[in-house]
Chain A
């Protein structure tokens, strides 16, 4: 039988554990939990932390909250929750399913929005912003004739050039490359001058998507083309769908890209590009906007016959108002506040990214940033900016992620096309119910 010392020791241990637990539970029962009162409080959950310094989106929302406090707008931001991209879906899914959560939420203008709408999880933002607000939005997308989200963060993919390398090779480019062949020409000259023409890191596949985007845009006449290809109604060998395979292959064949393209990540390739290796690279803005315009410049994508062959790709990510959120009118007032010129400047300054409103004044921007703004707002006569895969389910991106590195390693475009077609066909087969809904969605796109 245990001795008395042990018994006392045990009792003390048990009491200790019990006390810790009880104490913690007591604190728990008393503390925590917030309730919003009045019609002014609006909670937000947001993501979009890709480019620039980690935490910049967090800082923006907090600064916005302070500004709002000092303004005379009858609304207040409470409970700002930053959720990183990996967990954002779990969070949104849960909130939607339970009809409980913040009033503001952020998401891409992809086809999930259609799902959110059919689930009655979001309200049309146009119902809550002031009249005419939508006229100033740069990328207003409508579904069923209504605006469901306010574009507030541009998210671009840019082609950047190292000016020194261009000069050394005697390459002169205007605002944008005139064609893919002109691009290849320039690369040939750069290679001859002893420099690496293009720096790419496809190890984590993100770069594949960006380069493929530009290639799709080159030929894109309608935003429905890629969705139709997924639905099996547009053949894969259309250049808008698979032109990128030929382009990647050419880059590899002619030796215009770095040898270890599939071994390094995008971030690593950008580090090297910024350190001077490679004449061209494709980046997201946060990385480049604060760099020296004497060293680098923004070059518009190569032009092509497509209507959407704009000099850059732009997404126009959305701020949504949930249907179950509290104080939606106040949320509308906050959304209007966010689109005031001063607050647009705040956004640009803190996040290092561009907003999506015509009223934004770009004159304070650095040269690189200003060029990107010009390209976004003036893509050229008859051209429209877009982000080609925005309307695709993830498989549309996944298949590029999977096949892209192979293309950069020199796999034949014929083999790649075959793999691409089979992959999508199998996806269609396995998800026929979902494809039905997807079809309905595609029909709503103009």
Chain B
């Protein structure tokens, strides 16, 4: 009975998705539950919301630093470094996919490979270099470094998408007499909108969550970002911890991203839908 089998398949699919969703949610749920507990007693299971919830952890975290300034700094760092990375990467991806030139393969491979350099390795010589240029504690330093770190990833992502664009469109445009630049702006970019939006969102998120770069290049209180400020709550040398406070801090660091994602998702979905309708 095909209907019954289809029903069973559907139920199986729902079950599968539900399981994945629950697993995805579980740690975040635990985090929320803990953040509303009083610091003094973490007794009782961390599974059920406490009967005596309190906002004191959130207010304490909030009052601990100048939140407004940190939000602004984090936003500036994320948006500008992501914008620069995506702009340059889009051009580079176009160059890699639509042109043949000597060393193309090698260059692409090396560019992607640099993603594997953990920032801690390069941070000291990089800081010395930036310092010699007089850029430390100037906003441009962290933005440039963050953009530079994101470009290989962004290029790779956009290269993968652009490579799948149908050649016929470009050939037709070539025949029509369009210059390469026009092809880029009028064919490659619009058709890559889903990828561009995705890349921008991901690069911005990476920059938002980055701790080491702003820590080292933006050393003054004026420039501290949200992640730098929240590092106060990191587990100390002996693991001394105030779990509810920690959880409140983590929740606060995630909320802006969640909000932006919820808003940006509509744009993302629109981009996906429009990109798909051709």
Is there direct touching of A and B in the complex, by C-beta distance under 8 Å?
yes
Residues of A at the B interface (CB closer than 8 Å) are 1-2, 6-7, 9-11, 13-14, 17-18, 20-21, 24-25, 27-29, 31-34, 43, 45, 49-55, 58-59, 78-87, 90-91, 93-95, 97-102, 204, 206, 265-267, 271, 275, 284, 286-287
The verdict on A81 contacting B79 (CB below 8 Å), with A10-B193, A28-B143, A287-B240 known, is: no
Cβ-defined partner of A94 (8 Å) among B123, B132, B187, B222:
B123
| 8 more CB-based (< 8 A) A-B contacts, given A54-B232, A87-B212 | A17-B196, A25-B143, A33-B223, A34-B222, A79-B221, A94-B128, A267-B239, A287-B240
**Given the complex of chains A and B, what is the CA–CA distance between A90 and B217 in angstroms?**
11
**A28 contacts B240, C-beta separation under 8 Å:** no
Cβ-defined partner of A51 (8 Å) among B143, B222, B238:
B238
**A267 contacts B240, C-beta separation under 8 Å:** yes
Cβ-defined partner of A28 (8 Å) among B127, B140, B172:
B140
The verdict on A6 contacting B80 (CB below 8 Å), with A50-B237, A98-B128, A287-B240 known, is: no
Question: CB-CB < 8 A to A21: which residues of B?
Answer: 79-80, 83-84, 87
B241 at the interface (CB under 8 A from A): yes
**Given the complex of chains A and B, what is the CA–CA distance between A20 and B190 in angstroms?**
18
Question: CB-CB < 8 A to B176: which residues of A?
Answer: 1
**Given the complex of chains A and B, what is the CA–CA distance between A250 and B189 in angstroms?**
72
Question: CB-CB < 8 A to B64: which residues of A?
Answer: 55, 58-59
Question: CB-CB < 8 A to A55: which residues of B?
Answer: 64, 232-233
Residues of B at the A interface (CB closer than 8 Å) are 42-43, 64, 76, 79-80, 83-84, 86-87, 120, 123-125, 127-128, 130-132, 136-140, 143, 169, 172-173, 176, 185-187, 189-191, 193, 196, 200, 211-212, 215-216, 218-224, 231-234, 236-242, 245-246, 274
The verdict on A54 contacting B83 (CB below 8 Å), with A2-B186, A45-B219, A90-B123 known, is: no
**Given the complex of chains A and B, what is the CA–CA distance between A84 and B128 in angstroms?**
21
**Given the complex of chains A and B, what is the CA–CA distance between A341 and B132 in angstroms?**
42
What is the CB-to-nearest-CB distance from A280 to chain B, in angstroms, rounded to a whole number? 18
Question: CB-CB < 8 A to A9: which residues of B?
Answer: 190, 193, 274
Cβ-defined partner of A87 (8 Å) among B86, B193, B215, B222:
B215
What is the CB-to-nearest-CB distance from B154 to chain A, in angstroms, rounded to a whole number? 12
**B120 contacts A90, C-beta separation under 8 Å:** yes
A7 (CB) vs chain B CBs: closest residue: B186
**Given the complex of chains A and B, what is the CA–CA distance between A31 and B80 in angstroms?**
14
**B186 contacts A32, C-beta separation under 8 Å:** no
**Given the complex of chains A and B, what is the CA–CA distance between A95 and B220 in angstroms?**
13
Question: CB-CB < 8 A to A25: which residues of B?
Answer: 80, 84, 140, 143
**Given the complex of chains A and B, what is the CA–CA distance between A145 and B131 in angstroms?**
33
**Given the complex of chains A and B, what is the CA–CA distance between A160 and B117 in angstroms?**
46
**Given the complex of chains A and B, what is the CA–CA distance between A91 and B220 in angstroms?**
13
The verdict on A1 contacting B172 (CB below 8 Å), with A28-B143, A81-B224, A266-B239 known, is: yes
What is the CB-to-nearest-CB distance from A354 to chain B, in angstroms, rounded to a whole number? 16
**B237 contacts A267, C-beta separation under 8 Å:** no
Question: CB-CB < 8 A to B240: which residues of A?
Answer: 50-52, 54, 267, 284, 286-287
What is the CB-to-nearest-CB distance from B232 to chain A, in angstroms, rounded to a whole number? 5
Question: CB-CB < 8 A to B232: which residues of A?
Answer: 49, 54-55, 58, 82, 84
List the 5 closest pairs (A to B, CB-CB), nearest first: A21-B83, A24-B80, A28-B139, A98-B131, A32-B139
The verdict on A86 contacting B127 (CB below 8 Å), with A31-B139, A266-B239 known, is: no
**Given the complex of chains A and B, what is the CA–CA distance between A81 and B139 in angstroms?**
17
**B219 contacts A87, C-beta separation under 8 Å:** no
**Given the complex of chains A and B, what is the CA–CA distance between A26 and B148 in angstroms?**
18
**A98 contacts B83, C-beta separation under 8 Å:** no
**Given the complex of chains A and B, what is the CA–CA distance between A7 and B182 in angstroms?**
11
Question: CB-CB < 8 A to A79: which residues of B?
Answer: 219-222
